[in-house]
Chains A and B, each alone.
Chain A
């Protein structure tokens, strides 16, 4: 159902008259003379992007592990143990099954998000030590995990637990924000639904508000790790 729009006509009329336009008069599709974003990293190979991403993880206090599809389950097991296991929550993402991770999830009694269970999801995520998510698009330039959250791929999983572990299929790595934004534009143009919460996350939450000293771990996770699967 459509929402309401209040006070618009008078508001836009005033603006339009100052701009010497009629209110809401369409704009021609702008043709930009300057598009530097389109040419950066264009000749980078997948390997170079991977290297750039790994390097970008250093300043954002994010640890990177590399593995293959065959070894992913074992590697995830080890990484979970390294971060102290404890209570774990995961998004409800069919890729956990596709990637053969059910046994690991079972071993650690991971709570998988289920919106039908209501508040218990948030309670579980609040008390969890680790949250497991799978990356939708990885921006190499800034080592940013793009997560297209929804009712199943819940945003709380990468927000509330102390540690956020994100599985990154190497095929999801793109040069920078430019490609992610183009993907979103294309999705919209094709008439496909747009995720209501698109989160680009680069490392653990942090602040430099006190005497400009960096504190890692404020309201979101204190630790973030990426598990890159090189053949997925």
Chain B
């Protein structure tokens, strides 16, 4: 699945989403639960000391690493290769796909198991491998559910948050499931179905929460145990990482893992924090024999050296998504990107351009809750504003009509004569639409506004005229009063 989800224009997606009551309720309740858990594990955990200090530590580590990215990537790749692993730098999604396909072909791989990885979604890896005749199986429970049901992720930490247990049971029926919609029974079915797949898989593919440059290690932060299965039984392990997802040493890994676990799911540490370094010792029975690391740019470098560079500091905890009032009402799919919410609205235009994702920065109330929630202090709402500015300045290609309308407004507003004429004409032009002093069903650009609330009808007397009369009357009244008092 590529980064783009569906073909619906953004506002159509929003329209559809806000009427999906189950989804909106599920998303609100997930947001509340995750936000409360995060607060308990962060500012609520007094033993940790000052949470702001932790955020500052995260920010400084990520900023330093990104400012020296070439150095740390060189170190990482040298150390990974020194332990016998193979490193491939992919500038595009296609290059990454081609390399992974080549490795699978060389291994004559038929069965591939995957742990949850957003970057592999981003580069459409499953489809690419399936074209080559591989069976590719998602093993994270949520991703497994989505794969069985041919659906897309709507949250970066809980990808199936929009689905209810009945829908999940019905999806599992396709695989012969005959049980109830009890989550425990459903998860038990996944355990049984996937265990034999883990044991016979030829290739295991994972993402990478963080790589550690000074030892060439990969850290995976998980709960279900599937990532451990994926990195234990297949002979070949392929790790795909976004090029920014690394830290200098294990000391910094400590901080970012702590921030991630607490901010994403409110755990002190997730059940598994697994650190893998290629092993040239081939004697172990339960360990891959061949390690590959694919480091992906795929548009990330567009942000380097620009004001958007802090977007690459993201550690994918989804804390911003879990507090966003817009995400709360439209869920993840409406964004049309596998990266939804505030970080998605900042990141998607960087990775995929304004033509495709230029509308996403408008999916924000600019309340700055996202910025406040971010454990590495990315100024998300400021970056959203900058995206909007760049979009209308021509960084994107806003619709011709909108452009013409803005141009027209600009001419009208900068000429006093035209402005006056416009103000005079407006009540006359809009008169047919006015009922009881307001417009309830506006056409064209007014439509989204009047969909939610009434637009007051323009008054036949404009402010300047009103003020002139009012001012005169005041002076008159004051003059009168003054005379009387004296």
Measuring CB to CB, which residues of chain A are less than 8 angstroms from any residue of chain B?
A: 1-8, 10-12, 14-16, 18-21, 23-27, 30, 32-37, 39-41, 56, 60, 115, 117-119, 121-122, 125-126, 139, 141-142, 144, 150-151, 154-156, 159, 176-178, 180-182, 184-185, 188, 194-213, 215, 217-221
Interface residues of B in 40-64 (CB under 8 A from A): 47-50, 53-54, 56-57, 60-61, 64
Interface size on B, residues (CB 8 A): 112
* Contact A15 B285, beta carbon cutoff 8 Å: no
For the complex, what is the distance from the CA of A190 to the CA of B474, rounded to whole Å? 86
Are A211 and B228 in touch, CB under 8 angstroms? no
Known A12-B73, A37-B258, A144-B269; judge A184-B301 contact (CB<8 A).
no
B246-278 interface mask toward A, CB cutoff 8 Å, 1 = contact, 0 = none? 001111011101100000010111111111111
Least distance between B478 CB and chain A CB atoms (Å): 61
Q: Whole-angstrom distance from the CB of A179 to the nearest CB of chain B?
A: 9
Report which residue of A23, A182, A215 has the largest number of chain B beta carbons within 10 angstroms of its beta carbon. Answer: A215
Do the beta carbons of A207 and B285 come within 8 Å of each other? no
Does any Cβ of A come within 8 Å of B233's Cβ?
Answer: yes
Stretch in B79-87, B335-343, B385-393, B404-412 with 4+ CB within 8 Å of A:
B79-87
Of the candidates A6, A139, A150, A155, which one forms a contact with B89 in the assembled complex, judged by CB atoms under 8 Å apart?
A6
Query: What separation, in Å, do the CA atoms of A207 and B186 have in the docked complex?
Result: 11
30 CB < 8 A contacts A-B: A1-B84, A6-B86, A12-B74, A14-B91, A15-B73, A19-B67, A25-B71, A30-B248, A32-B60, A34-B60, A40-B48, A40-B49, A115-B284, A154-B284, A154-B286, A155-B287, A177-B269, A177-B273, A185-B251, A188-B214, A196-B279, A196-B284, A199-B228, A199-B274, A201-B272, A206-B271, A209-B142, A212-B33, A219-B229, A221-B225
Q: Is B271 within 8 A of A60, CB to CB?
A: yes
The minimal Cβ–Cβ distance linking B67 to chain A, given in whole angstroms, is: 7
Given the interface pairs A27-B71, A30-B248, A185-B251, the reply to whether A218 lies near B187 with Cβ below 8 Å is: yes
Q: How far is the CA of A146 from the CA of B253 in the complex (A)?
A: 15
Residues of chain A lying within 8 A (CB to CB) of residue B117? none
Asked whether, in the complex, the Cβ of B223 is within 8 Å of the Cβ of A205, the reply is yes
* A155 near B286: Cβ-Cβ < 8 Å: yes
Given contacts A142-B269, A154-B286, contact A7 B49 (CB under 8 A): no
Q: Which A residues touch B30, using CB under 8 A?
A: 212
B141 and A181 within 8 A (CB) = no
Closest to B261 in A: A142
Q: How far is the CA of A141 from the CA of B48 in the complex (A)?
A: 10
Q: A11-B89, A218-B187 are in contact. Are A199 and B272 (CB under 8 A)?
A: yes
A188 to chain B, nearest CB (A): 6
Partner of B81, one of A3, A122, A203, A207: A3
6 closest cross-chain pairs (CB), A and B: A220-B225, A205-B225, A196-B279, A219-B225, A142-B268, A151-B284
B168 at the interface (CB under 8 A from A): yes
Chain A positions within 8 Å of B226 at CB level: 218-219
- On chain B, the residues within 8 Å of A8 by CB distance are 74, 77, 87, 89
Query: Which chain A residues lie closer than 8 Å to B70 at the CB level?
Result: 12, 15-16, 19, 21, 23-25
B88 within 8 A of A: yes
Contact pick for B228, options A24, A115, A119, A220, CB 8 Å: A220
Question: Which residues from chain B contact A125 at a C-beta distance below 8 Å?
Answer: 286
B140 at interface by CB-CB < 8 Å: yes
Is B90's beta carbon under 8 Å from chain A?
yes
A20 CA to B68 CA in the complex, in Å? Answer: 10
A211 lies within 8 A of B26 (CB): yes
Taking CB as reference atom, which chain B residue is nearest A21?
Answer: B70
Decide: B81 and A2 in contact? CB cutoff 8 A.
yes
Contact of B165 with A34 in the complex, beta carbons under 8 Å = no
Given the complex, which residues of A lie within 8 Å of B56, measured CB to CB? 33-34
Chain B residues within an 8 Å CB radius of A211: 26, 164-165, 183
A10, B267: Cα distance in complex, Å = 40
Q: In this assembly, does B280 line the interface, its C-beta being within 8 Å of a C-beta of chain A?
A: yes
CB distance from B312 to the nearest CB of A (A): 11
For A4, give the chain B residue with the smallest CB separation: B86
B206, CB-defined interface residue at 8 Å = no
Q: Is the CB of B82 within 8 A of A220?
A: no
- What's the nearest-Cβ distance from chain A to residue B87, in Å? 5
Q: How far is the CB of A195 from chain B (nearest CB, A)?
A: 8
Instruction: Mark out the residues of chain B between 211 and 252 whose CB falls within 8 Å of any chain A CB in the assembled complex.
Output: 214-215, 217, 223-226, 228-229, 231-233, 243, 248-251
Closest A residue to B142 by CB, please name it. Answer: A209
- Does B327 count as interface, using CB distance less than 8 angstroms? no
Judging by beta carbons under 8 Å apart, are A159 and B223 in contact?
Answer: no
Nearest B residue to A177 by beta-carbon distance? B254
Cβ–Cβ < 8 Å partners of A142 in chain B: 267-269
Interface residues of B in 165-195 (CB under 8 A from A): 165, 168, 183-184, 186-188, 190-191, 194-195
**Beyond A18-B305, A39-B49, is A11–B297 a contact (Cβ under 8 Å)?**
yes
Task: Give every chain A residue within 8 A of B77 (Cβ-Cβ).
Answer: 5, 8
Nearest neighbor of A15 in chain B, beta-carbon distance = B70
In Å, the complex CA distance between A122 and B73 comes to 36
- Complex contacts, A194 vs chain B, CB 8 Å: 215, 217, 277
The reply to whether A184 and B68 contact each other, CB–CB distance below 8 Å, is no
List, in ascending order, chain A residues with CB within 8 A of B484's CB.
Answer: none
A56: which B residues are within 8 A, CB to CB? 268
- Cβ < 8 Å to A, chain B residues 95-113: 95, 99
Query: Is the pair B228, A159 in contact by a Cβ cutoff of 8 Å?
Result: yes
**Of B83, B215, B224, B287, the contact of A218 (CB 8 Å cutoff):** B224
Is B284 touching A26 in the complex (CB atoms < 8 A)? Answer: no
Report Cα–Cα, A100/B34, bound state, in Å: 46
Is B145's CB within 8 Å of the partner chain A? Answer: yes
Contact yes or no, B88 A6, CB < 8 A? yes
Kindly provide the distance from the CB of B56 to the nearest chain A CB, expressed in whole angstroms: 4
List A contacts of B224 (CB < 8 A): 205-207, 218-220
